[in-house]
Amino acid sequence: MIQFSDREIVNEQLVLDSKTEVYYLGHDLTLRHCSIIVKVPARALIIARSKLIDCTIDVKKELKGFRWETNLLQGCRFTGRFFGNDFGPRPDSLHPGFIEDCDFSAAHLDGCRFLGCDASTLRFPRWPCFTILDPVRRYRELRAAPWPGDIGRIKVEGFAMAPPTTVAVTYSAPELAKRFSTTPEAIRATLEKLDGVLY
């Protein structure tokens, strides 16, 4: 295991690329103005109870199912492909972190949730990604929309079971279209009928 913990690192580049080691960032690690290049899958990466301030996180391979919930993410810029990541504290987290002022505009997000934060401080990616704001509270309204294929029945129904603190969820229209045998254009036609969607 390659471990970074109990210290502050400023203005450095961390390249996480070992084919045999697990990277552990935390506890009580502060990274400030750093560039973090992630070339490992989620199973080889643990980031827990760390502070990432004004950092760039550049994911070179799609990062799947990663949870950032115990970390403080402030002023960070994310690039690369993220699938099924949770940003911000979950209601059941023993060590809740937070996220604010982060920029995802150059990232490709699919099925990524933002919890317990102020979504207005975040920059989300634009089309072909789209972000639904406040999906849990607006569940019934979103369910009634004319979604193509089974998106409404499978994806939107899932909002009812999401953590109540979910303030936004971002999808990739091409990836969603592929999974539900529809087209990005058909998805966009539904989005254009809805309020509270960024694309």
In this structure, are residues 131 and 196 in contact, taking their beta carbons and an 8 Å threshold?
no
Q: What is the pTM of this model?
A: 0.95
Q: Which of 147, 145, 149, 105 is nearest to 129 (CA)?
A: 105
CA-CA distance, 72 to 87, in Å (whole number)? Answer: 10
Rounded CA separation 39/53 (Å): 21
Q: Is 33 left (phi over 0), alpha (psi -120 to 50) or beta?
A: left
pLDDT at 92: 87
Q: What is the pLDDT of residue 93?
A: 85
**pLDDT (0 to 100) of residue 91:** 86
Q: Residue 34 and residue 52: Cα distance in Å, rounded?
A: 8
pLDDT at 14: 98
Q: State the Cα–Cα distance between residues 168 and 135, nearest whole angstrom.
A: 6
Residue 14 and residue 176: Cα distance in Å, rounded? 32
- Alpha helix segments (H runs only) across 33-152: 139-143
- Regions of the chain where pLDDT drops below 70: none
43's CB contacts (< 8 A; 6+ apart) are 22
State residue 85's pLDDT score: 98
